[in-house]
Amino acid sequence: MSELTTARLSVYLRCLESLDASGVNTVSSQGLATQFQLNAAQIRKDLAHFGEFGIRGVGYYVKDLKRHLRQILGLDRSIKVVIIGAGNLGVALADYAGFRLDGFDVVALLDTAREKVGQYSRSGVPIRHARELERLVEREKIDIAVVTVPPDAAQETVDGVVAAGIRAILNFSPVSPRVPPHVKLKNMDLTITFESLSFFLANGHVDP
Amino acid sequence: MSELTTARLSVYLRCLESLDASGVNTVSSQGLATQFQLNAAQIRKDLAHFGEFGIRGVGYYVKDLKRHLRQILGLDRSIKVVIIGAGNLGVALADYAGFRLDGFDVVALLDTAREKVGQYSRSGVPIRHARELERLVEREKIDIAVVTVPPDAAQETVDGVVAAGIRAILNFSPVSPRVPPHVKLKNMDLTITFESLSFFLANGHVDP
DNA sequence: CTCTGTGAACCACTTCACAGCA
DNA sequence: TGCTGTGAAGTGGTTCACAGAG
């Protein structure tokens, strides 16, 4: 299943939540498409991969489809997250309000700096020593590790995360660590993102 | 020019910087490909869009190609960045060390909260009132706006940024604001990213 | 008659394979 | 000979267009 498809499922879920909040009961793929600037055929095709959720001549029941999407995305339970690297970015992510709402539970921040261990983030996430990772994973059934350590520590951190049995990693450091095939690694490389924008500024405006 | 191509140019630049730091003078597309797990033909094709930088039978001069890529990516000058929304994430980004190294200069954080305005981030980025945006853009020739405001303020913030004349926006809020066609908007949606990982955990391990 | 689910056509990006230059 | 630059082939993802269910 394509990355792009699953990202769109998230978008659809968000659209449906908005419609549901407005009291809308049913929506057609065409309705979704025009309201949220999507492609109707693509919506139908994306959804059809997972079952027949629509009713011909009617569309989709908003609440029904919402529930299906939540389940497909694995959001029908709390997802436990640990953040490794209690620097600016790590702590900011731990305190990011959006997560809690969407069922993501940041269990701990991990770091090796003596003066950070034992502290709490503003929103109350405890900072613990990185060596506790294995124990934490075992006891708390961690689902996702977020890596916000300096680039030269990224690969060893990721290795530790994999060894601890975590199968999904979100990496913010500007390197692409190696992971075994059963582990899903997603890189959020801010430098690449900024350089893309810079490229557009340098070249984008010239084209006819 | 494809998004994917420009992202790869950033990757190539990083690889070349690493080679240069190791004292390597020339490298072939094959050399780059095997060392950094890329595709040799793709490297050649990506580069060939912008000129003939290689020498047949030899490869590419590392320092030369580095300079060319910097120029193509628009990194041969300082890029001025303003961050709108001095919350956890905005301040963390302002203090992110990686930027300064790569020629990105965070000129200011903007916010509307009276108690934040006048303060400084840990690394010394001043927090100013959001209404100063237009003046700041005019005086400082801002290139990129980073939007880290709450979702319901995202569209109006982006509208203001566009009105101020900024043509490249990096948006972290979980909505996709509308922008006119001459403006480049890049969304970094953490919720979608986490939900993709959740999807993988829920479905990835089953496939044969 | 409306709207879904889906094969077929289309398009974009990637990889292959080779002509030709150093 | 070794490697680039590039047309041709291949791959995967998107859009079209319609048969058929409700």
Domains of chain A by residue range: 3-72, 79-192
- Measured over the CA atoms of residue A137, residue A143, residue A149 and residue A155, the dihedral's sign is positive
Residue of B104, B96, B156 whose CA lies nearest to B131:
B156
Closest CA to A169 of A126, A137, A208: A137
Find chain A residues with C-beta within 8 A of B204's C-beta.
167, 184
Bin B75: left if φ > 0, else alpha if -120 < ψ < 50, else beta. Answer: alpha
Q: Decide if pLDDT at A205 tops 90.
A: no
User: Which residues in chain A have their CB less than 8 angstroms from residue B205's CB?
Assistant: 167, 182
Contact of A178 with B194, CB cutoff 8 Å: no
Is A102 in Cβ contact with B194 (below 8 Å)? Answer: yes
Strand A60-61 to strand A26-27: parallel, antiparallel, or no bridges (unpaired)?
antiparallel
Element (H, E) at A27: strand A26-27
Q: What is the pLDDT of residues B75-85, one digit of tens each?
A: 999 999 999 99
Domains B3-72 and B79-192 share a fold: no
For an interface test with B, which of A194, A201, A203, A207 has the most B Cβ atoms less than 10 Å from its Cβ?
A194
C-alpha distances (whole Å) from A74 to each of A3, A9, A107, B135, B198 are 15, 12, 18, 46, 6
CATH fold for the domain made of A3-72: Arc Repressor Mutant, subunit A (1.10.10)
Residue A99's pLDDT is 77
Asked if B96 and A88 come within 8 Å (Cβ–Cβ), the reply is yes
Bridge partner residues of A175 (DSSP): none
Minimal Cα–Cα distance from B73 to chain A, Å?
Answer: 4
Cβ contact, residue pair A190, B73, below 8 Å: no
Q: Is A192 helix (H, G, I), strand (E, B) or coil?
A: helix
Rounded to an integer, the average pLDDT of B44-52 is 98
Pick the residue from chain B with its C-alpha nearest to A169. B197
Quick check: B1 and B49 in contact, CB under 8 A?
Answer: yes
Mind listing the pLDDT tens digit for each residue in A49-82? Answer: 999 999 999 999 999 999 999 999 999 999 999 9
E-only strand ranges, chain B: 26-27, 60-61, 79-84, 104-111, 127-129, 144-147, 168-171, 184-187
Could you tell me the pLDDT band of residue A102, with boundaries at 50, 70 and 90? confident
Helices (H) and strands (E) in chain B, counts: 9, 8
CB of A55 nearer than 7 A to strand C:
yes
A1 pLDDT band (50/70/90 cuts)? confident
What secondary structure letter does DSSP report for B131?
A: G
Residue B131 has pLDDT above 70, yes or no: yes
Question: What percentage of chain A exceeds 90 in pLDDT?
Answer: 94
Which of B14, B74, B93 has the CB atom closest to A198's CB atom?
Answer: B74
The pLDDT of residue A198: 97
Inter-chain CB proximity B184 and A205 less than 8 Å: no
Q: Which residues of B, range 123-182, sit inside 8 Å of A by Cβ?
A: 143-144, 167-168, 170, 174, 182
Is there contact between A77 and strand D, defined as CB under 7 Å from any strand atom? Answer: no
Q: In whole angstroms, how far apart are CA A126 and each of A17, A82, B116?
A: 31, 10, 26
Tokens for B127, please give them.
Answer: 């927090």
Sign for the pseudo-dihedral over CA of B187, B188, B191, B196: positive
Q: And the tokens for A203?
A: 């070249």
b/e B150-166 (16+ beta carbons within 10 angstroms → b) = eeebbbebbebbbebeb
Residue B155 has pLDDT above 80, yes or no: yes
Tell me the C-alpha distance between B169 and A140, whole Å. 38
Separation of CA B46 from chain center: 19
B79-192 has which fold?
Rossmann fold (3.40.50)
Using the CA of A48, give the nucleotide whose C1' is nearest. C5
Which residues are A46's β-sheet partners? none
- How large a percentage of chain B has pLDDT more than 70? 98
- Return d(Cα B96, Cα A156) in angstroms, integer: 21
Q: Cα dist. A199→A110, A194, B18, B158, B185 in Å?
A: 36, 9, 21, 20, 13
Q: Which nucleotides of D are covered by protein (CB under 7 A)?
A: 1-7, 12-17, 20-22
Contact B74, A201 (CB under 8 A): yes
Task: Report if CB B57 to strand C is under 7 Å.
Answer: yes
Q: Judging by beta carbons within 10 Å of its beta carbon (0-12, 13-18, 19+), is residue A129 exposed, middle or buried?
A: middle
Which uninterrupted H or E stretch holds A109?
Answer: strand A104-111
Residue A97: the pLDDT is 77
CB of A79 less than 8 A from some CB of B: yes
Please determine, for residue A206, whether its predicted confidence score (pLDDT) is greater than 60. Answer: no
**pLDDT at residue B208 in the model:** 39
Residue A104: list chain B partners with CB under 8 A: 194
Does residue B100 have a pLDDT over 80?
no
pLDDT of residue B206: 54
Residues 6+ apart with CB under 8 A from A17: A66
Residue A208 has pLDDT above 50, yes or no: no
Query: What phi and psi values does residue B15 have, to the nearest 5 degrees?
Result: -60, -45
pLDDT over threshold 50, residue B47 = yes
Neighbours of B178 (CB within 10 A): 12
**Which 3 state secondary structure label does DSSP give B208?**
coil
